[in-house]
Amino acid sequence: MRGFVRIGAAVPKLRVADVSYNIEQIIELAKEADEKDVAMVVFPELCITGYTCADLFFQKRLSDDVEKGLVRLAEETRDMDTLVIVGASIMWSDDLYNCAVVIHRGRVMGIQPKIFLPNYNEFYEKRWFSSGKNFINKVEYIDINKEKVPFGGGIYTSKELGYKMGIEICEDLWAPIPPSSQRALQGANIIVNLSASNEVIGKNEYRCSLISGQSSRCIAAYVYSSAGVHESTTDLVFGGYAGIYENGKMLAENDRFGRENELIITDIDVDVLISDRVVNKTFADSKELLKSEEINIIEIEHKKDYAINKDNLLRYYSITPFVPSQNSDVDKRCKEIFSIQVAGLAKRLEHTGCKKVVLGLSGGSDSTLALLVCKQAFEILKMDSKGILAITMPGFGTSKRTHKNALKLADEIGITLKEIDIKHACLKHFEDIGHDASLRDVTYENVQARERTQILMDIANKENALVIGTGDLSELALGWCTYNADHMSMYAVNCSIPKTLVKYLIKWYAISIGAKAVLFDILDTPISPELLPPDEQGKINQQTETILGPYEVHDFYLYYFVRFKMTEEKMLMLASIAFDGIYNKDELEQWLKIFIERFFKNQFKRSCMPDGPKVGSICLSPRGDWRMPSDATIRRFEY
């Protein structure tokens, strides 16, 4: 299953106070969930009776119907492996409670009462129900269908599927300290919320932010199901919102105000949640704030084979995880990223007192982004852009296209450009070290890279300037940089920007700020270090992605390997899903092996990388997020 658990949130049709009808709808949705291999399905608050029964909750007839309904629901789901969580009013010890009832394979496994009862504005729950605050961790036992059932707080856990599930009910989420916070610290990695949240203007947006925020704080999945439009509309309207979130990210949700039975389904990655909790020591330290009471653990034994693989996984994986998935977010996100880069450089310039920067301008995307960052930093510091010294250094592999674009870009944005041809110096160096210039090997290539860096460093000394690094996060991950050449600078503005994001940032700049024609031509140019001579037509002969594989694939692996510590097998499965129809499995496996091998072998380059701003969730700085021995063993993997 690779750590995945299939989860559902259901919103059934109902008739207020008609338990028999409501049970029929719940059974129908439970069967659908079981047929679709859903391990756990959550229904709304008080769905067996309807939330809006008001004083009818006091009627003994309704209480008797609820118990009969639960018995029938248990019996009808006896042959289902899906864990069913429904909302019901439960009488115990002369008090009425608003409860979540957990049913599995014909048995009521547990009952948990609602803690916080809203009794303000349109809500009057304390008129009917008692709070379960005395049962947050305490458990008593109640007779249901001649069986003793735990009544109170608990965690439902499955060894087969790896989940630990905690429950809260509607208003519990809106409390300053939701019960789910405690459940998460007690081990729950999935929180379910049975809710009856009515609709007023703007409430859904706030409700979703609460769910997302609590999911993120708890580093947990959060499954939310709320009462639908068939509740009484005497004074309120209910929209039937259902949503499933994972660590703050919405994975699935329905359209509110539906009039038929609804079931949303997605796959939660429990392994990812556990990985984040292991890394987050604030989460671990928070456990010490818990009271000493032991939580009741209820074991759920799943017998169905929930094999989840490439062909049946029910969630979306973007081929560009570093890039905003919604077009509406691109402008806002790109502006924020660019501003972080600019702010980092501006601070360094202020601190050093430097009025000039030096960078190599190749006509490629990385040096272009670095130049744009420099331009903006100089503008906000009100410094003369002529203090940006862009050095274009044609070598043996420089193409006419990139050379022309470097000149045009420098002219358009108004900075100082100097051209220094490095071919003669490199030939002299070949002679000095006894290298045959016709042998176009790694020495042939790296001599050019180091010659360029030497020029930049020496000009920086001469001009009292900072050398600005142009290399990006993808190159650092793969070690695709020459040690002590383009690998080195005095401040590296792109060090947290992966190759796929570099392009989006340049495109955003072109559309939002200017220099559109030349920037779009730069984006359309093949990625190349241009260290080998062009072909007979003068076009780029050395293309990086032909050698390494596509950067979009390597960035995908980088994201899931570093961010979520995934195994190679799982990364390959996710890549096969994301890139289905674009690349085949053999290609993806080949590039995965290249990624792993290069990532491990090139840690020594990252161990002495220059300063630069962290921008996103992944940073490979040895002073920040990533500490790894340079001689760690590469694990050979086969599928």
Query: Within 13 Å of residue 308, how many CA atoms lie on the same side as its CB?
Result: 24
Residue for token pair 């190599």: 360
35, amino acid identity:
E
DSSP label of 380: H
Per-residue pLDDT, 466 = 98
E strand spans, 80-215: 83-92, 95-104, 107-113, 139-144, 147-152, 155-157, 164-169, 190-195
Select from 22, 59, 71, 28 the least CA-distant residue to 227: 22
Cα separation, 473 vs 486, in Å, equals 13
The mean pLDDT value for 268-292 works out to 89
Mean pLDDT over the full length of the chain: 94
Burial category of 21 from C-beta neighbours within 10 Å (exposed 0-12, middle 13-18, buried 19 and up): middle
Least confident stretch, 225-234, 303-312, 353-362, 444-453: 303-312
Cα separation, 42 vs 262, in Å, equals 12
Cα separation, 172 vs 174, in Å, equals 5
Question: Which tens digits make up the pLDDT trace of 327-362?
Answer: 667 888 899 999 999 999 999 999 999 999 999 999
Cα separation, 34 vs 39, in Å, equals 7
Element (H, E) at 10: strand 4-11
Per-residue pLDDT, 568 = 93
Select from 584, 592, 588, 528 the least CA-distant residue to 558: 592
The mean pLDDT value for 62-89 works out to 97
DSSP 113-129: E-S----STT--GGGT-
Select from 477, 41, 547 the least CA-distant residue to 244: 41
Q: List alpha helices for 221-289, DSSP H.
A: 270-279, 281-286
Residues labelled catalytic = 45, 114, 170
Q: Three-state SS for 499?
A: helix
Which are the contacts of 53, defined by CB distance < 8 A and separation ≥ 6?
A: 16, 17, 46, 62, 89
Cα separation, 338 vs 356, in Å, equals 20
Select from 476, 491, 519, 483 the least CA-distant residue to 369: 519
Residue for token pair 């007023």: 200
Per the CB < 8 A criterion, the answer to whether 621 and 571 are in contact is no
Per-residue pLDDT, 330 = 80
Higher pLDDT, 639 or 585: 585
* Percentage of the chain exceeding pLDDT 90: 88
- Domains within the chain, CATH numbers bracketed: 4-299 (3.60.110.10), 327-546 (3.40.50.620)
Per-residue pLDDT, 277 = 95
Element (H, E) at 266: strand 262-269
Question: Which tens digits make up the pLDDT trace of 386-426?
Answer: 999 999 999 999 999 999 999 999 999 999 999 999 999 99
Q: Three-state SS for 140?
A: strand
Cα separation, 17 vs 5, in Å, equals 34
Cα separation, 350 vs 378, in Å, equals 11
Per-residue pLDDT, 307 = 86
Select from 172, 167, 195, 3 the least CA-distant residue to 83: 167
